[in-house]
Amino acid sequence: MTGKINALYRNLPIRLKILTVLYLLITVPLIVVGATSYNIASSVIEKKTVEYSHDMLSMINYRLAGLLVGLESLSNDVLSTENVYRAVARRSFSSDKILAYEQHESVVGYLEKLLIAREELRSVCIVCFNGMSFFADNNKDKQSIMEQVDIVDMLVRARETKGRPIIYIQNKPQGDSYVYLLRMIINRDEFTEAGFLIFNIDKRYLTSAFSNLQSQYLKNLAVVTDDNNVVFSSSEEAAKTFKKLTYSDNQSGYDIDKANNLLKTYVTVPSTNWRIVSYIPLPTLYLEVNELRNRIIILCGITFFCISLLGWLAARDIIKPVNALVKGMKRLQGGQVDVSVPIDRQDELGYLTEVFNKMVQDIQHLMNSIYREQITRKEAELKALQSQMNPHFLFNTLESINWMAQMQNVPEISETVSNLSSLIEAGIGRDARLITVSEEFAYIEQYVAIIKRRLEDRLEFSMDVENDILNVPIPRLLIQPIIENSVYHGIERVRRKGVIVLKAFSQEDKLVITVYDNGAGIPKEELENFRNRLAMDDDAYFKMIGKKGKSVGIENVNRRIKLFYGQSYGLQIESEEGSFTRITVTIPLLIRKDMEGFYVQGHDS
């Protein structure tokens, strides 16, 4: 899969590549930055909202605890009132109805005054175990407190706290609820239960704990019991929602209710095990975040458009000269040689255009040069054809001299003319371009025979050739110039008898030919310069052609070998002034087929 994507990318036009990379460089950072900003903002708002809600609920908890402490203090005041305590603590009432009535009215009157003074109470009831009950209502309810309460259940719940106040919730059939404060009344003299006190609490008194604390993020508030009954809430609609919620066993906390799509926060009122709960719908919670998201999207869109426009202009600026170069190359490929691409910039593309124009000019120059060279070569071939009569005339003349020497009985002249004729034939190249080692050495023997007639007994020549290499093809007249160099620059410069030793043998995949002479040798400095000239590459050698130097024939042989076989082959020279000179020729034993037509020596007849 990755390979296909890479291949598809490589085959895209440069303009699409630039735009693709540009869009990726724009889109990926925008998405990453936008998503990160959105997540960070969501997390920060959620965290701040939870902290704010928890702080507000803690404050409400503190206020509500204060209100409950006030109710507890009020219950202490009621139970410590003397006439109330005497009416509750006595075992039975007097048979005197007037006295009993006065006691009853005294307690009820106190309770009625209490209701008038304390707006947090809707009604009060004292149930005595001596058979008497006292109660007072504010007449706002259709039923009196005695008709509302479940005395038995309240008594069971009140006894659980052993004299401490307890909040009791009684749900109405219509869905609303009553809130009561229950407290057992203990006989201080006998430490026995004498009755219990019931406060019907006005829920508006409890909701005052919410006053001035509601805000955009704290609109929905409620107090719920441990069995998930709503004691009171900020609204009826919120109460329905609170009844659906579930809570963990922690004293306080928060969590996101995905089922109801809201964030809820709660704290527990320690004295009652009530929970003060608030919830925020998630759309409300993330309203500002969503606005931020929309702004980020709009900003990213504007940024993407602006950068895309700039990228398109930059890509167009880059692609335009590239397309001009491509068109110029296609025209050149189609055969049009007078191609020129206009240059209107000085950057890298301008440099490429300049180089292309120069290359076209060089191609035109080379084509013109090759054309002129072909014309010159044709003219030279015509002249060569015209001059072919000269070698034939020379051979015929030498042949006439040879017959005249034989007729006059002068064999030395006849042999010399025959040897010279063979050498001229080898130089002109009547036969194939390559000859065998045995043929090359035959020419050398004829050359040495001519030289010996001039030097007489001053020259001793010997050959040592392996039989296995006699049929190895080599360029013609490859070794003769080396022998000639040994004679003229070595043997003729000393008075002692000259010795030339020619050896030829195979070494691994190479043919090695050595020419040794005991002539004058080469001075050290001249030998070093000579070696440097032999080691030159073709470009350096041809640049210095024309400069004066010795042993031009040897340099020519060395260059012919390198051109024909490669730079790793050629000549090596060893010499010691006044002692000897040894030249070693190294060429491959096997010749590639593509080399056979490369080497040219002389003209074919």
Q: What pLDDT does residue 511 have? A: 94
Q: Tell me how many degrees the CA angle 123-126-131 measures, rounded to the nearest 5.
A: 140
Q: How far apart are CA 284 and CA 281, in angstroms?
A: 5
Domain boundaries, the chain: 81-206, 429-595
Distance between CA atoms of 108 and 125, rounded to whole angstroms?
Answer: 9
Instruction: Kindly report, residue by residue over 186-223, the tens digit of the pLDDT.
Output: 887 778 888 888 888 887 787 777 776 666 556 777 78
d(CA 51, CA 106): 52
d(Cα 256, Cα 264) in Å, to the nearest integer?
Answer: 6
* Architecture of domain 429-595 in this structure: 2-Layer Sandwich (3.30)
**pLDDT at residue 587 is higher than 80:** yes
User: Which of 400-404's residues contact partners 24+ apart within 8 Å by CB, and which partners?
Assistant: none
* Chain position carrying tokens 């700039």: 310
CA angle 409, 411, 414 (to 5 degrees): 110
- What CA–CA distance (Å, rounded) separates 120 from 67? 10
Average pLDDT, the chain: 77
Q: Average the pLDDT over 34-53 and give the result.
A: 81
Look at residue 30 and tell me whether its pLDDT is greater than 50: yes
Task: Report the pLDDT averaged over residues 559-566.
Answer: 83
The residues that bridge with 464 in the sheet, in sequence order, are 503
**Distances 175 to 179, 230, 240 between C-alpha atoms, Å:** 13, 10, 10
**563 vs 539: which has the higher pLDDT:** 563
Q: How far is CA 358 from the centre of its chain?
A: 39
DSSP 339: -
Residue 487 has pLDDT above 50, yes or no: yes
Cβ-contact 209, 64 below 8 angstroms: yes
pLDDT at 601: 42
Extract the tokens encoding 417: 């003319």
Give the highest mean pLDDT range of 104-108, 266-270, 371-375, 484-488.
484-488
Helices 389-407, 411-428: crossing angle, 10 deg rounding? 160
Q: What is the mean pLDDT of residues 426-437?
A: 65
Instruction: Average the pLDDT over 75-81 and give the result.
Output: 84
Residue 385 pLDDT grade (very low, low, confident, very high; cuts 50, 70, 90) = very low
Which string of b and e fits 235-268 if b means at least 16 CB within 10 Å? eeebbebbeebeeeeeeeebbeeeeeebbbbbbb
Lowest mean pLDDT across 256-260, 319-323, 384-388, 507-511: 384-388
**Could you give the CA distance from residue 403 to residue 407 in angstroms, rounded to a whole number?**
6
Give me the DSSP letters along 489-513.
HTGGG-SSPEEEEEEEEEETTEEEE
Residue 469 is given by DSSP the state: G
Q: Max Cα separation, the chain?
A: 201
CATH 3.30.565.10 assigned to 81-206: no
Residue where the block lists tokens 């407190």: 145
The residues, any chain, with a CB within 8 Å of residue 174's CB and separated by 6 or more, are none
The pLDDT-based confidence of 498 (bands split at 50, 70, 90) is very high
Q: Mean pLDDT across the stretch 7-13? A: 72
What tokens were used for 285? 């919670």
372 confidence band (pLDDT: 50, 70, 90) = low
- For the stretch 360-364, contacts whose Cβ atoms lie closer than 8 Å and that sit 24 or more positions apart, written own/partner, are 360/328, 360/332, 363/332, 363/337, 364/337, 364/338
Q: How far apart are the first and last CA of the chain?
A: 66
How far apart CA 261 and CA 281 sit, in angstroms, is 6
Question: Who wins on pLDDT, 241 or 401?
Answer: 241
Q: What is the pLDDT of residue 418?
A: 65
Rounded Cα–Cα distance for residues 342 and 321 (Å):
9
User: Does the structure show a pLDDT above 90 at 516?
Assistant: yes
Question: What does DSSP say about strands 434-436 and 473-475: parallel, antiparallel, or unpaired?
Answer: antiparallel
Q: How does pLDDT run across 541-554, given as a tens digit for each residue?
A: 665 655 545 556 78
Checking if the pLDDT of 557 tops 70, the result is yes
H/E segment holding residue 154: helix 151-159
- Mean pLDDT of all residues in 513-538: 89
Burial class (CB in 10 A: 0-12, 13-18, 19+), 517: buried
Contacts of 63 (CB under 8 A, 6+ apart): 208, 209
Per-residue pLDDT at 355 exceeds 80: yes
> Do 429-595 and 81-206 fall under one CATH topology?
no
457: DSSP letter: G
CA 334 to chain centre: 41
Whether 142 has a pLDDT exceeding 90, the answer reads no
CB 412, CB 385: distance < 8 Å: no
Q: Closest Cα partner for 229 from 212, 210, 209, 245?
A: 245
Mapped onto helix, strand or coil, the DSSP state of residue 68 is: helix
Give residue 102's pLDDT: 77
Structure tokens that stand for 246 in this block: 């579930």
Q: Would the pTM count as exceeding 0.85?
A: no
